[in-house]
Amino acid sequence: MRGNFLKDKDVCIVAYAETKLERRSGRTAYELSAEVAEALYKKIKMGPSDIDGVSTTIPMSEAANPFWANYCTDYLGLQPRWLQTTDLGGVSHTGNVARAAMALQNGWCDTVMLLAADAPTTAWSANYHAYHDEFLDPTGLQGPPGAFGFIMDRYAAQHDLDYRGLGALAVAQRNGAVANKNACEQLREKITVDDYLNSRVISSPLRLLDCVMPCDGASGLVMMKTSRARRLGFTKRVYPFAYSEITNFNVASQQPDITQTGHTVVGPEVLKMAKMKPGDVDMFHPYDDFLIAVAMKLEQIGFCKTGQGTQFLRDTNIGPKGTLPINTGGGQISAGQPALAGGQLNLVEAVRQLMGDAGRRQVKNARNALVTGIGVIPYGRNWGSSSALVLQN
Amino acid sequence: MTRNATPRPVPVPTPMTQPFWDGAKKRKLMLQYDPSTRTYQFWPRACSVQTGKRNLEWKETSGKGAVYASTITYVPAAGFEGKGPYVLGLIDLDEGVRIIGNVINVEPEDVAIGMRVKVAWEKLSEDINYFAFEPDKARRK
């Protein structure tokens, strides 16, 4: 097993901020970043000249600009000595926590702002090329819902897929969105398991309420060395305690089992690094592009047996007062997915909870959280990048 | 989101992918073959995913396989507007590779995992035949 460079808790998260999520905001990722940065300055009582490290994720709305991070930091008046752009999709955000930790530990910078902003419902400039132009787009496969249609179809053939378990997750996350004032207003309405079951099929057997809804939005975090955070009087500190990441799981196999993912590697590994068992996890904040992904990760990390993810969701209290609270702010499925900034939603909610700021959805006495990331859907496979991050307070 | 109707995308071959499309024009499914590991691979690229060597050969394949997974699309992708629900298959070819294609000449609801299929061709332009799959009535490979 790899060494755990986070075990000493020598770096920490001291602040978080996020914008409201909105459909067709008419704003750019730069404007959204500025809103988040201002909120962070206010929280940490600092300004642009204090930020000497920045990490970003490439926004769909700015993907055609190969100098996104340069332009963004220029826009914000920042002069970073460490600047990182991560293009691992939904793995980028937990990934940037780990990368920022390494930059801080190695003295590249003292104060890192971790930005994630995207406005896909206002502008879209991504173009995947590679195999898409010749070997995928002409087939009419409908993007991620098409790919997850395959994954669910195969999962249902290999295992006992209980749609009521996915419905229970849809309902629990929607309750979280109702309690989350930053969630998309269109989604802040309670639903029932029957609403899920009766939602229209998009790409069989995938239903509308299995899916995320795209929106515009941004979020940010501030990290620094723990010694500095103490000196500066930051009393609310959340520590990244273990991190594991893998990209292109099973890459050379030409006929892989698409019900398996890199979380079979990083899930058990990150818990071992943290010296935890699944039962020790106080809250689970999994990246949720589709409901089935959450069920699969529960299995692959070890919360339940392979093939029992949907039964686990059906039989477990996953609300904020439950035995395993999941995506208490609604996750992306019920709050909205600001495209490539989306993964930071799950992460920010975990940090908010561990700082005790979650209000009426607060998980009592939560000491740790497990956050995951999913990035990229490769040709004919399950997700391409997998990450798992343990946070403690 | 409503989209303006766009035509179904037509591939533009590159020098690297040209052999695939030359084969398709003759209704032959050509795949890249790695002679050192005796394995096929898809989608086309410049190197073996097994060894990293650029020693791949193009070989004609049987075009036969079985459905590994399928999905019926009710919300059409760009270029497929107005086409009723259509079914796509993740097809395990007998040569040991997996390929995504439309399954045609069948009711979408009748496509199931394990179903035997063979390659079929749709003419997208003067130069491009596009691969799809249809039920293979012959029992075995």
Per-residue pLDDT, averaged over B80-101, amounts to 95
- Domains in chain B: how many in total? 1
Domain that holds residue B110: 18-135
Cα angle, residue A359 at apex, residues A92 and A194 outer, rounded to 5°: 75
DSSP string, A209-229: GGB--B-BEEEEEEEEEHHHH
Considering only residues A263 and A2, tell me which one the structure prediction assigns the higher pLDDT: A263
Class of domain A11-124+215-231: alpha beta
Query: For residues A112 and A341, what is the distance between their CA atoms, to the nearest angstrom?
Result: 17
Mean pLDDT of B30-46: 97
**How does pLDDT run across A19-62, given as a tens digit for each residue?**
999 999 999 999 999 999 999 999 999 999 999 999 999 999 99
Taking 90 as the threshold, does the pLDDT of residue B1 lie above it? no
Calculate how close chain A gets to B1, using CA atoms only, in Å. Answer: 10
- Facing residue for B80 by CB, picked from A140, A150, A379: A140
d(CA A334, CA A357): 20
CATH classification at residue B89 = 2.40.50.840
């098409």: which residue's tokens?
A146
Instruction: Tell me the three state secondary structure of residue B54.
Output: coil
Q: Decide: helix, strand or coil at residue A271.
A: helix
Q: What is d(CA A365, CA A354) in angstroms, rounded to the nearest whole number?
A: 9
Q: Quick count: other Cβ atoms within 10 Å of Cβ A126?
A: 14
Strand ranges, E, within B62-112: 64-73, 86-93, 98-102
Question: How many C-beta atoms surround the C-beta of residue A301 within 10 A?
Answer: 23
Do the Cβ atoms of B97 and A254 come within 8 Å? yes
Q: Which of helix, strand or coil describes residue A255?
A: coil
In a domain, B5, yes or no: no
Mean pLDDT value across residues A275-283: 98
Q: Does residue B3 lie within any of the structural domains?
A: no
Task: Indicate whether B141 pLDDT > 60.
Answer: no
Distance from CA of B63 to the nearest CA of A (A): 16
Decide if pLDDT at B51 tops 60. Answer: yes
- Nearest-Å Rg of the Cα atoms of chain B is 16
- Which H or E run includes A268? helix A263-273
Q: Are A12 and A100 in contact (CB under 8 A)?
A: no
- The SS3 of residue A156 is helix
CB atoms within 10 A of CB A333: 26
Q: Which residues of B touch A202 (CB under 8 A)?
A: 73-75
B71/A153 touch (CB, cutoff 8 Å), yes or no: yes
Query: A209 to chain B nearest CA, in Å?
Result: 14
Distance from CA of A42 to the nearest CA of B (A): 38
Give the angle subtended at the CA of A386 by the CAs of B90 and B101, to the nearest 5°.
10
In this predicted structure, the answer to whether residue B11 has a pLDDT above a threshold of 90 is yes
Instruction: Quickly count helices (H) and strands (E) in chain B.
Output: 1, 8
B58 neighbors B45 (Cβ within 8 angstroms): no
Judge: A203–B76 Cβ closer than 8 Å, yes or no: no
Closest chain B residue to A153 measured between Cα atoms?
A: B69
Closest by alpha carbon to A182, among A314, A18, A366?
A18
Domain A139-212+240-392 has CATH 3.40.47.10: yes
pLDDT range class, residue B2, cuts 50, 70, 90: very low
Contacts of B137 (CB under 8 A, 6+ apart): none
For residue A142, which residues of chain B lie inside 8 Å, CB to CB? 73, 75-77
Q: Give me the residue from A137, A150, A206 closest to B90, CB to CB.
A: A150
Q: Chain A residues within 8 A (CB-CB) of chain B? A: 131, 133-143, 145-146, 149-151, 153-154, 157, 200-206, 251-252, 254-255, 258, 379-380
Q: Mind listing the pLDDT tens digit for each residue in A211-263?
A: 999 999 999 999 999 999 999 999 999 999 999 999 999 999 999 999 999 99
Of B11, B74, B100, Cβ closest to residue A380: B100
Domain with CATH 3.40.47.10 in chain A: 11-124+215-231, 139-212+240-392
Q: Report if residue B2 sits inside a domain.
A: no
Q: Is the pLDDT of residue B118 over 90?
A: yes
Closest CA to A361 of A350, A373, A370: A350
CA A271 – CA A388 distance, rounded (Å): 9
* Euclidean distance between CA atoms A202 and A45, whole angstroms: 47
Is B140 part of a structural domain of the chain?
Answer: no
Residue A274 tokens, joined: 């943290």
Residue B137 has a pLDDT of 86
Contact A323, A316 (CB under 8 A): yes
Question: What's the pLDDT at A1?
Answer: 58
Q: Which residues pair with A221 in a beta bridge?
A: A16, A114
Residue B1 lies in a domain: no
Q: Is residue B88 part of a domain?
A: yes
- Most distant CA pair in chain B, distance: 49
CB count in 10 Å sphere of residue A62: 24
With respect to residue B107, please indicate whether it lies within any of the assigned structural domains.
yes
Is residue A259 within 8 A of residue A158, CB to CB? The reply is yes
Q: CB distance A140–B11 less than 8 Å?
A: no
Report the first-to-last Cα separation within chain B, whole angstroms: 43
Q: What is the pLDDT of residues A166-197, one digit of tens each?
A: 999 999 999 999 999 999 999 999 999 999 99
